[in-house]
Amino acid sequence: MAASLLFPSHAVQPGLLVRAARDRGFTHRGEMFSAADMAALARDVFPCHPELLEGGLEGPNLPRVLQHLISGLPLLVPYDEDSNHEPCQRRGHKAHWAVLTGVLLGVRTATLSPAYRPDPEIPNLFHPPPCGGGELAPGGPGLRWGGPGGAVERVLVLAQQGKSPRVQLWALGGLHGSNAQLSELSPRRRRDGHRYVLPAGGLAQGLGGRAVLLRPRDGSPGTPPE
């Protein structure tokens, strides 16, 4: 899914990625319990620049996360998956990966730049204007990411994951909380007799508070290797 955003004309079979991960010692059964390994796999398989993000999706990382998504670039996030595929908190027992593909910001319209374009069909939905370098402006002079006087009141992200074809809308705060508490392999997996690749320090060091930002290597969509 993330690859299709960077390379829309090239379909990548999941089996190819699993085989590449297995060849590199990142997985035994398709599991990926290390964000660093996920970043390395993306770098090896696609001509992209992966960036390992540590410290969660909010706090000091929030502006980077929002600007990345506003720029139309994908973000890979591990989280605990609930029965409806939304984020939950199970200490990593339901660890799964999602790809974030967009963002909706809840803001006071008085703070928007006049350059923001209203959606022709949906009331009170505005689209940011394009600007140089292929990025999108995060807002007018009064649009700040939070704190005292900040105009952004709520952040929702568009998310997809492999068990559902649907795009879902999640509160970023809930996803941040789920991502931050990933800490241990589920008891079921510890007892199932299968081998899994765990990083030093377990899930807490491999996944907790971590994500992977993906950018095209040369600043424009490229061609993945055969």
Contact 49, 215 (CB under 8 A): yes
Alpha carbon distance 51, 42 (integer Å): 10
Q: Could you list the residue range(s) of the whole structural domain that residue 102 is in?
A: 2-129+148-216
Query: What letter does residue 58 receive in the DSSP assignment?
Result: S
Query: What is the rounded distance in angstroms from the CA atom of residue 203 to the CA atom of residue 182?
Result: 6
pLDDT tens series, the chain, 226 aa: 565 666 665 567 888 899 999 999 999 999 999 999 999 999 998 878 999 999 999 999 998 998 899 888 999 999 999 999 999 999 999 999 999 999 998 887 676 777 778 999 999 898 877 653 333 444 444 455 554 455 678 899 999 998 888 999 999 999 999 999 999 999 999 999 999 999 999 999 999 999 999 999 874 444 443 4
Confirm whether 225 is domain-assigned: no
Q: Let me know if residue 114 belongs to a domain.
A: yes
Q: What's the predicted TM-score (pTM) here?
A: 0.86
The reply to whether 212 falls in a domain is yes
Q: List, in sequence order, every beta strand (DSSP E) within the chain.
A: 48-54, 75-81, 87-88, 95-107, 117-118, 126-127, 152-161, 164-171, 210-216
Is 223 part of a structural domain of the chain? no
CATH number at residue 105: 3.90.70
Number of domains in the chain: 1
What pLDDT does 157 receive? 97
